[in-house]
Structure 1
Amino acid sequence: MLAESPLRIALLIDADNAPADKLDEILTELSTLGVINIRRAYGNWTKAGLQGWQARLLEFALRPMQQFDYSKRKNATDMAMTVDAMELLYTERPDAFGIVSSDADFTPLVMHLRAKGAAVYGFGAKQTPMPFVNACSRFLYLEALGSGHADGTLAAEEVSEVAAQPSAERVEAPPVPVVRAASLRVPTQQLRQDSQLLNLLRDAVNATQDEDGWARVGAVGTQIGNKASFDARNYGYATLTKLLAATQAFEMRDEGTSRVAVRDKRQGRAP
């Protein structure tokens, strides 16, 4: 049986709304999904504020796309990126797009790309408007990039969660070292006060549970991914398993293995 071909990814960066010092982490993240065939960064490179990008463009083989401002106090970068993304969609036909920006103006573009069958992985700052975040197949806050295991390895349950994702939009992270620094975790008390998060997790567990109330974490992750743009690292946890455990709202079984499963504690107390 032939091995499944890796995803072909087009990376488009809004340099006016993205920090150059996060390029390494962004490329590391996307490289776990597939091959980044197209790498472009858009901006008005005559601006002094973008001078810090030159060394990074050369270091990571990014093609700079020049876009002059057509009016004062308004850049045209977002329109240039949108036009190119549409052209790439119908000519090069990448399997997925990486969109780096905190600008909600890209929301209609992301919705169109996904409607045509392309996965969209978004990267932006924490202040990124939620319509853009939710439109993406998966959105990762730049502040959360770099979270992971101290030794740079993937835990067994993390590999299981990754493998369970739908093939069209799954995050295919091979079991190889990925060096990331730890990020600040949202404490349990704050997680438990986040009713939207708890409802999302509980609904996914309920939808995938067996007759005893247990749900495989991989299946829970798939259910969430089909419903919303979600990444446990945005809360400071390397895996969905660790986030579920941190909420203290679920019983855990077979932790540290590919069979890790969870059950809503409220159901466990039911007669």
Structure 2
Amino acid sequence: MKSPSGALTVAGGSGEDNGKRLAVLIDADNARAAVIEAVLEEVARFGEAIVRRIYGDFTSPESASWKKLLNKFSIKPMQQFAYTVGKNATDSTMIIDAMDLLYTRRFDGFCLVTSDSDFTGLAVRLREEGLLVYGFGEEKTPAAFRNACHKFLFTEVLRTAARHGEDAAAAESARRPQDSDPPAGGQPVIPADFLMEALDRSVDESGWTQLGTFGSYLQKIQPDFDTRLYGFRKLSDLVRGCPSLFVMEEREAPSGNRTIVYVRAREDD
């Protein structure tokens, strides 16, 4: 789906297209079982998980945490024995399976759940075929893989949201001044320069842009940008919570049955 500016629209812009058919592929060697429920909830925002597969050696003691979750979340285990010590056969199996699924032409996108940079080439290949690529991994995930995805989500953010509730986090951040120090938990300071760069690229001659178009540019420039890293549930909350940076305005759509949110940079007085 594309915005009026022609930019590819993914989650974090004007909303998600829940009609997408998605394949969810999980690297059991580089993903934590504790995050899978939150990951699948996030996937549901993007579309329908037609295929859910997990790859690993489920005869090993390390896989015990996954076994009780497979039936609960209808995830198909793809058993891969470790043929040689020190060699990861799981990666190859997952990549081959992804290519087999790609050539069925049944999917609009893939969700790759891993923190392993070895899947960078797969993400690039899927994008070359015109498919959306959503990545899910820990903050340690190398930038090469994060940037190869249309959108990358940190699983630490999803776990935090699941434990504490996103609304509470947004309310707390809204009370914190934009230029204050991050709280004790280590929440990063809002990247004002990056936000203004993306806004400058997305505005029209009048200096205004639709919120969805702004979100598309944010993801285009930085695929792992996530407003929840800064305590805001969604982009509109972040814009509203930074009045020193942005001006928001709601306008009636031409159809008259809804409103469209516009945003521009706040000019110095």
Superposition TM-score tier, normalisation by shorter sequence: 0.7 to 0.9
Identity of paired residues, percent? 38
- Provide the secondary structure at the position in 1 that maps to 2:103: helix
Tell whether the 8 Å contact from 1:7 to 1:96 is kept in structure 2 after alignment.
Answer: yes
The alpha-carbon deviation at position 258 of structure 1 amounts to: 4.7
RMSD over aligned Cα atoms: 3.1
Aligned match for 1:129, one of 142, 153, 156: 142
Cα distance in 2, alignment partners of residues 105 and 19 from structure 1: 17
Is 1:20–2:33 an aligned residue pair? yes
Is 1:252–2:247 an aligned residue pair? yes
Amino acid at match of 2:247: M
TM-score (norm 2): 0.76
Give the corresponding residue for 1:269: 268
Cα distance in 2, alignment partners of residues 252 and 146 from structure 1: 32
Give the corresponding residue for 1:141: 154
Tell whether the 8 Å contact from 2:249 to 2:263 is kept in structure 1 after alignment.
Answer: no
TM-score (norm 1): 0.76
The alpha-carbon deviation at position 245 of structure 1 amounts to: 4.3
Cα distance in 2, alignment partners of residues 247 and 53 from structure 1: 41
Unaligned 5+ segments in structure 2 are 1-16, 183-187, 251-257
Aligned match for 1:11, one of 18, 24, 28: 24
The C-alpha deviation readout for 1:152-211, integer Å capped at 9, x for no partner, is xxxxxxxxxxxxxxxxxxxxxxxxxxx8675598873368x979x434321221122244
Cα distance in 2, alignment partners of residues 118 and 101 from structure 1: 18
The farther-off stretch of 46-55 and 224-233 is: 224-233
Amino acid at match of 2:227: A
- Provide the secondary structure at the position in 1 that maps to 2:112: strand
Cα distance in 1, alignment partners of residues 86 and 241 from structure 2: 44
Larger relative contact order, structure 1 or 2 (CA cutoff 8 Å, min sep 6): 2
Is 1:239–2:238 an aligned residue pair? no
Amino acid at match of 1:97: F
Amino acid at match of 1:269: D
The farther-off stretch of 47-56 and 242-251 is: 242-251
Give the corresponding residue for 1:214: 208
Aligned length: 235
Is 1:80–2:93 an aligned residue pair? yes
The alpha-carbon deviation at position 240 of structure 1 amounts to: 1.4
